Chains A and B, each alone.
Chain A
Amino acid sequence: MSKSTRNFTIGLLFILGLIGANYFGMLDKIDYQDKSQIWFYNSQGFEFKNHPKYTYQGIIIAPPDTRTDHQKIKVQTTQLIYPEKKKISGNVLVKTKLYPPYQYGDQVEITSFLIQPEPIEDFRYDKYLAKDKIYSLAYGANVKLIKSNQANPILQIIYNFRQNISQQINKIWPEPTASFVNSILLGYKKAMSEDLKEEFRRAGVSHIIVISGLHITLITLLLSKILYALNINRKKQLSIILIILTIFAILSGFSASTIRASIMGLIVLFSQNIGRQIQKHLILIYTAVIILLINPLLLFYDLGFQLSFLATIGLIYLSPIFKKVFKFLPNKMEIQSTFISSFSAIIMTLPLTIYQFKTISLLAPIANLFVLPLIPILMLFGFISILASYLCFALAKYLGFIEYILSKVLFEIVNNISSIKFSSIDIQNFNVLTMALSYILIIIIFIYAHQKKT
């Protein structure tokens, strides 16, 4: 057995081991009788009338999740105040009114109900929260700010910077361009209006508004071109890209797909740097193992993680096969390669997306053909305009107009495709079993096609 085969097998066994461990509930064991944890005080169910209210203090340890009519803040508790004063720990997700806005690092005092998370119909909301180590929800919350800047100072600086950029974006562009730029450059995907997000879903292009491998690749390419032009040597290039990618991963809110793409990108750069090529499937499994060692629950309850890896698997394994099928497509302007890579990613993620969203977007490959070429230009002009806004706002406003028109073109395309009657069809009764069978089918077809080739 060669070294690479051995490493690949170990990685695969690790992931299989996790699946087993999760099956027996070994990955998130919570002791609800532990009086030193905030979740000890959880009430059951949403009949608030009969529940007691608690007062506690804590620190906001993630950027708030701001929606159109409320915000959700993740609070790491430090002290219980009422009914008794004592030290306490554990995280609470607090739903509170939209204003005043809270920040990462705020120390707050909260009076609220504490509710145990429960599954919502099919959706394991409790598990989804467990992956972020949240076992308590606060409703009817009254939040009081005590002090600011109580969390990690470096993250604080980066998040403040992120917020500052976001404010610039909101001043340069009107909606919906503003929230779109916020999504593709800062990972504020929740800022976009529900209607627009729904259009993106129906057209099958919602992956472009979530920072993913696509965006990271574009940034890495751009960076290495700039650094190359500046005549900086390779070793330095690597460390500069490493720092910028890390900052970008934090800026974009640490989503699983960003981290996946950043780690993979770094391994590629690193292997190029030491002059040895690492096989693609090894890069993939190394990345998966690194992320899952940090948080194994992502494998089961983070849709972003799942989609990101499935799409990459599609790009690596399926695209060589589809290359033969779609030979007839014109090879001009990268139409063929764009179509093939979108198609491969779509096929590999399809069973999961049907299972999750109960809908299938039929025109997705075509929509992507139109939309994908716009993304690098939109990222570039967005970036340039924001940069300009710190020097001269009028200039930013002028440059931003190009971005504005381009984004309008994009919205127009998405709107037209999503409003075609058969752009998407709803599929009910697609359960875990059907999903598993679909993947087995994909694997069988892959093996068959692979054997025919050799």
Chain B
Amino acid sequence: MLTRKKLSLLIILLIITIFYYKFEDQSHLLRVCFINVGQGDSILIKSPNGKNILIDGGPDAALIHQLGNMHSYKNHQIDILVLTHAHTDHYIGLIEVVKRYNIKLILWSGVDAFNSDYSYFKNLIKNLNLKIALLGQEYLIEPNLKIKILYPTHQLKGEEAQDLNNTSVSLILSYQNINFWLAGDLTCEGEAEILKQNLNLQSEIYKASHHGSRWSNCEPILDKIKPDLAIIQSGIDNSFSHPHPETLQRLEERGISILRNDQLDNIWIYSDGKKYWIKEA
């Protein structure tokens, strides 16, 4: 029997539902989170109008627990998913994301890795909207917010890669006057390729490539990008001793401030298109 008490409870629940369903999670700012996934990369970009871009997924399934708290309930969608390259510390976390979220577009280099977990991942995404990223492509996400691809400079699909790091999809995320440099695990060799193109690379925020390895983040590219702020995605006590002291020195010499996921956990950067600021947790 439905008593009056139960009925009123039901109505209250219904009202809450309608309310929450209508209004939630709007900020009209660009929000970029460098997610602490341990030793690995993962970056979530939330656009001012509620679009989601995810770059890489870290080395294990822990990312899914982090994403749950960053996404709104209703919006179970990733508009662009970027896999920089086929190393486990970049794609394992994406597997659970691909299984659960509605993915609109996947950007990748198309270069193969030959192991069973990557085959599993490839099999999962084979029917999704896949696109090979290439220098010169631009993806307009919203007015004023776009992704500019800088690497690979030529089609790599089907090629046998000597070093998968040098197949990293590298891009600039640009929101009006604020640019983010996001280049996966690209090494100095790949950086030199980009420099040859003679493009304007100037960016305010620089994600240190390859978790701060000294074989990436070379002086010429730093001098061209001229960032104010570098973010290093590396795990506590990782077995590669990333970031390398030499990289830290290169950044410090140029007066670039450094934020590290292993020291600060998740790092949120907000921007209104004219300036950016670090969101205190």
- In the assembled complex, the Cα of A57 lies from the Cα of B60 at a distance in Å of 28
Q: Report the minimal beta-carbon distance from B6 to chain A, rounded to whole angstroms.
A: 12
Q: Report the minimal beta-carbon distance from A199 to chain B, rounded to whole angstroms.
A: 13
Mark the stretch among A82-90, A170-178, A201-209, A253-261 that contacts chain B: A170-178
Chain A CB within 8 A of B62 CB:
yes
Name the CB-closest residue of B to A195.
B65
Chain A CB within 8 A of B143 CB:
no
- In the assembled complex, the Cα of A177 lies from the Cα of B16 at a distance in Å of 18
Chain A's interface size range is 20 to 34
- In the assembled complex, the Cα of A193 lies from the Cα of B74 at a distance in Å of 22
- In the assembled complex, the Cα of A268 lies from the Cα of B37 at a distance in Å of 49
Chain A CB within 8 A of B59 CB:
yes
Name the CB-closest residue of B to A169.
B100
Give the residues in chain B near A193, CB-CB below 8 Å.
Answer: 62, 65
Cβ A98 vs Cβ B61 within 8 A: yes
Interface string of A284-311 (1 = CB under 8 A from B): 0000000000000000000000000000
Chain B's interface size range is 20 to 34
Chain B CB within 8 A of A405 CB:
yes
Name the CB-closest residue of A to B64.
A175
| Residue from A98, A99, A178, A397 in contact with B68 in the complex, judged by beta carbons closer than 8 Å | A178
Name the CB-closest residue of A to B88.
A97
Cβ A167 vs Cβ B92 within 8 A: no
Interface string of B1-41 (1 = CB under 8 A from A): 00000000000010011001100000000000000000000
Q: Report the minimal beta-carbon distance from B259 to chain A, rounded to whole angstroms.
A: 22
Give the residues in chain B near A69, CB-CB below 8 Å.
Answer: 59-62
Cβ A171 vs Cβ B69 within 8 A: no
- In the assembled complex, the Cα of A173 lies from the Cα of B100 at a distance in Å of 9
Chain A CB within 8 A of B121 CB:
yes
Give the residues in chain A near B65, CB-CB below 8 Å.
Answer: 175-176, 179, 193, 196
- In the assembled complex, the Cα of A176 lies from the Cα of B70 at a distance in Å of 11
Cβ A99 vs Cβ B121 within 8 A: yes
Name the CB-closest residue of A to B71.
A174
Cβ B21 vs Cβ A401 within 8 A: yes
| Residue from A100, A175, A404, A405 in contact with B116 in the complex, judged by beta carbons closer than 8 Å | A100
Interface string of A95-106 (1 = CB under 8 A from B): 001111000000
Q: Report the minimal beta-carbon distance from A65 to chain B, rounded to whole angstroms.
A: 13
Cβ A175 vs Cβ B17 within 8 A: no
Interface string of B65-103 (1 = CB under 8 A from A): 101110101101000000000000000100100011000
- In the assembled complex, the Cα of A193 lies from the Cα of B60 at a distance in Å of 12
Cβ B62 vs Cβ A68 within 8 A: yes
Cβ B120 vs Cβ A99 within 8 A: yes
Chain A CB within 8 A of B252 CB:
no
- Can you report 23 A-B residue pairs in the complex whose CB atoms are below 8 A from each other? A68-B61, A68-B62, A69-B59, A69-B61, A98-B61, A98-B95, A99-B92, A99-B116, A99-B117, A100-B116, A100-B119, A167-B99, A174-B73, A176-B65, A176-B69, A179-B65, A193-B62, A193-B65, A397-B74, A398-B21, A401-B17, A402-B13, A405-B20
Q: Which residues of A are in contact with B by a Cβ distance under 8 Å?
A: 68-69, 97-100, 167, 170-171, 173-179, 193, 196, 397-398, 401-402, 404-405
Q: Which residues of B are in contact with A by a Cβ distance under 8 Å?
A: 13, 16-17, 20-21, 59-62, 64-65, 67-69, 71, 73-74, 76, 92, 95, 99-100, 116-117, 119-121
